[in-house]
Structure 1
Amino acid sequence: MMSSLPGVPLFQLYGENHAWPGTDLLHCESIPARSRLHHWEIKPHRHAKLFQLLYVQRGQAQVEIEGKRSEICEAAIQVVPPLTVHGFRFSADIQGHVLTFGTALVADLEQRLGAPLAVLASATCYPLGSDRHRLHALIDTLQQEYQGNAPSRAAMLQALVTALMVWISRRQQSGQLPRNRDERDRQLLGRYLRLVEAHYREHLSVDTFAARLGVSSLRLNQLCRDLAGQSALQVVHQRLLLEARRNLVYTRMSIGQLSDSLGFSDPTYFARFFKRLSGQTPKGYRQSARHAPA
C-alpha cells in the first residue's frame, strides 16, 4: 500500500520531475518511445494529479499495481488513477500508447458526459476483444492529431478522447465502495481536485474547501502533502498557473484582462504571483512561448 512505500518516487510524467509540460492537458506517446530508453522497464512510481491509460495493441506487458502483478497478453487498456503506485515491464515487440490526462481535461470530459468518470477511479484492465480494430483506429487517429497542428486540433482531440472514455465506461463493472483507508484517501484527494477545478478562479480559502469536503483544513493539508507532495493551497496555485500559461499562449488577452478572468483584483499582484511560481513575468512567458520551436 502507498502508506508502506514512502520511498516510491512521485513523478509528474514518468521520470520527469518538472511541472505538467506546456499548456496541453493531454499527453500521448507510444510505449516504445520511452520504455526503450529504460530497457523496456518502468520502475514503480506514482503521479499526484495525472490519470493514465496504458493501451497495449500487441506484445506483452507485465503490470505491477500497488504491489500486485499481472500480465497483459492481448489487446487491452489498463487504467491507472492518480496516486496509484504502478510499474511496467514490456516485451521488446510491444506496440501501443500511453495517454496521460490532467485533472482539468477529466473535469471537462465529465461536464461533456454529464456524469463523473468513475471508470478512472479504479485501476482496472479492459480487454478490447472484438473491438480491438475499432479502438486501434481511434487511438491511432488520436496520436496523429496530437502530434500534428491541423485546424481545430483541440476540438478533434476532445472528441476522440470523449469517444474513448465512453467505450471504457461502457465496459466498466459495477462500482465498489472504497476497500481501505488508502483508497478512501485517494478518493478524497480526487474530490478535492475536482472541487479546485470548479472553483479555482474564486480564490476560496483552504478552510472553505475543507468545509465543503467535510474535513478539517489540517486534514486536507496533510492529505495533499502526503499524496500530492504539495499543500492544499499550492494545488490551487498550480491550477491558476496552468490556466494563466494557457491563456498567455493561446489568447490575445492583455495581462489586465487575464488577471480579471482568473479572479485577481490587481494585475500587479497577478504578475507577482505568476513570476513567483514560474520564474518569469507573464509578458516574458508569452514572448518566450511565441519564439519557442513548434
Structure 2
Amino acid sequence: MTRSSLPGVPVFKLYGENQAWPTPDLLHCESIPARSSLHHWEIKPHRHADLFQLLYVRRGQARIEIEGKRSEVREAAIQVIPPMTVHGFQFSADIDGYVLTLGAPLVTQLEAQLGAPLTVLASAGCYPLGRDRRTLQTLIQVLHQEYEGSAPARELLLHSLVTSLMVWISRRRQQIGPPGNRDERNQQLLARFIKLVEQHYREHLPVEQFAHRLGVSSVHLNSLCRELTGQTALQAIHQRLLLEARRNLIYTNMSISQLSDRLGFSDPTYFSRFFRRLSGQTPNAFRQAGAAGDRPPC
C-alpha cells in the first residue's frame, strides 16, 4: 500500500467498523475476539481520523500490516497505532488480548498530567512485554473490567490505569532508542500539530500560526498533513471543530447560540453554515437525528 492510495482507504471510528463512538468516554476497550471473530479474524486495512490505538496481544498470533509493511506478533506485546496510520490485522482463532482506543482529547489530558508529550504515540511501534508480561496482563485486565463497570470514581481509576500503561510504553520506547528515520520524525511532527490543534481549535488560529509554533513553514505543514492524513492542515482544524460540535449537540442541551460562542464562532449563523458545509446537515437536524437514535458517526 502506497501513500498515494491513502485517500481511498476507509476511515473508521473503531477498528473495522464505520460506526459512531459507542460511549461518552474518551476511551474504548474491548477484547480482540469480540469484533474480529465477526469478520473471520481479519480486519481490512483502514485508518482512524483522531484516535490512537493500542493492540495488546496476550496469546495467539497476529499478522499486522502498517502502511503496507507486514509483521507477525507471536509473543505477548503491545502494538501502537497513531491516528491516520493505515493498518490491518489477521488473527489466529486462539487470539487473546484487547484493543484500547484513545481519543485525542484524552491523550492531551494524559500529557498534561505527565508534564511531557507522549511522543511514543506519534509513530507505530511494537513493544514485547518480556518480563513485565504478568504486570501488564493484570493492568489491562483491570482496565477492561473497570471500563465495563460503573463503580464510583470509574473515570479517575481508568485514567490512572491508562497513565500507568503510557508510562510503561514510554520507558520501553526509550530503551529501544530515539526515532531515526524520516517517517517517524514526520509522524511525531504530525502528533505535535494534532496536540496544538487540540489546545487551540476554539481560537480559529490561521495555519501559519500553527506552523510557526512547530518551527516549519505553512507549506511544509500542509504537505505533511496531505501526505499522512489525506487532508490539509486547515481541514484537520475544521474537523476537530466539527467533532466537538457534534459531541455537544448530542450530549448537552446547549442552544445553537451557546455552542457557537463556546466554539469561538463570531455568530450562530456562521456556525450553522460551517456545520452544514462540513456535515451536510444543519446543527438542529443533526441533534434531532441523534435524539431519534439515527445520527451518523461522530
TM (norm. structure 1) is 0.84
Check if 1:111 corresponds to 2:108. no
Letter in 2 for 1:260: D
Structure 2: distance between partners of 1:66 and 1:241: 27
SS in 2 for 1:57: strand
SS at 1:230 equivalent: coil
Q: Could you tell me whether the CA contact under 8 Å between 2:56 and 2:78 is conserved in 1?
A: yes
Give, as a single letter, the amino acid of the residue that structure 2 aligns with 1:73.
R
Paired AA for residue 76 in structure 1: A
AA of the residue aligned to 2:215? G
Contact 2:119/2:188 (CA < 8 Å) preserved in 1?
no
Q: Partner of 2:124 in structure 1?
A: 123
Q: Residue deviations 1:40-60, cap 9 Å, x none? A: 223444445432111112112
Structure 1 stretch displaced more, 126-135 or 261-270: 126-135
The equivalent residue for 1:94 is 95
RMSD, aligned CA: 3.0
Superposition pairs of residues 258-269 of structure 1, within 5 angstroms: 258-269=259-270
Select between 231-240 and 210-219 the one with higher mean Cα deviation. Answer: 210-219
How far apart in 2 are the matches of 1:7 and 1:267?
Answer: 32
**3-state SS of paired residue (2:174):** coil
Is 1:170–2:151 an aligned residue pair? no
Aligned: 1:179 with 2:181? yes
Superposed displacement of residue 236, structure 1: 0.8
Q: CA deviation at 1:82?
A: 3.1
AA matched with 1:254 = S
Match of 1:200 in 2: 201
| In 1: Cα distance, 2:150 partner to 2:292 partner | 17
Aligned mates of 1:168, 1:219 — CA distance in 2: 30
62-71 or 186-195: bigger deviation = 62-71
Letter in structure 2 aligned against 1:189:
L
Evaluate the alpha carbon distance shift between residue 250 and residue 151 of structure 1 in structure 2; reply closer, same or farther with a 3 A threshold: farther
Counterparts of 2:227 and 2:131, CA distance in 1:
42
For 1:34, the equivalent position in structure 2 comes to: 35
Q: CA deviation at 1:270?
A: 1.8
Give the total of aligned pairs.
Answer: 292
1:246 corresponding residue in structure 2: 247
- Tell me the residue number matched to 1:11: 11
Q: Given residue 72 of structure 1, which amino acid in structure 2 is its aligned partner?
A: V
Question: What CA distance in whole angstroms lies between the structure 1 residues aligned with 2:6 and 2:165?
Answer: 34
The code of the aligned residue for 2:277 comes to R
Which digits, 9 at most, give the CA deviation of each residue in 1:246-285, with x for residues without a partner? 3333444333332222111212222332233334433444
Tell me the equivalent position of 2:56.
Answer: 55
For residue 94 of structure 1, report the CA deviation from its aligned partner. 0.5
Aligned partner of 2:162 in structure 1 is: 161
Distance 1:245 1:150 in 2: 28
TM-score by length of 2: 0.83
Q: Could you say what secondary structure the match of 1:78 adopts?
A: strand
1:141 aligned partner: 142
How far did residue 113 of structure 1 move? 1.0
Give the 3 Å change call, closer, same or farther, for CA 285–276 of structure 1 in structure 2: same
Closer/same/farther in 2, CA of residues 140 and 238 from structure 1, 3 Å limit? same
Residue type of the alignment partner of 2:9: P
Deviation, structure 1 residue 33: 2.2
Q: Letter of the 2:140 partner, please give it.
A: I
Q: Is the contact made by 1:61 and 1:89 (CA closer than 8 Å) also made in structure 2? A: yes
Residues 271-290 of structure 1: matches in 2 within 5 Å?
Answer: 271-290=272-291
Partner of 1:230: 231
In the TM superposition, what is the alpha-carbon distance from 1:205 to its structure 2 partner? 1.2
Contact 1:8 1:85 survives alignment (8 Å): no
**2 CA distance for matches of 1:224 and 1:45?**
17
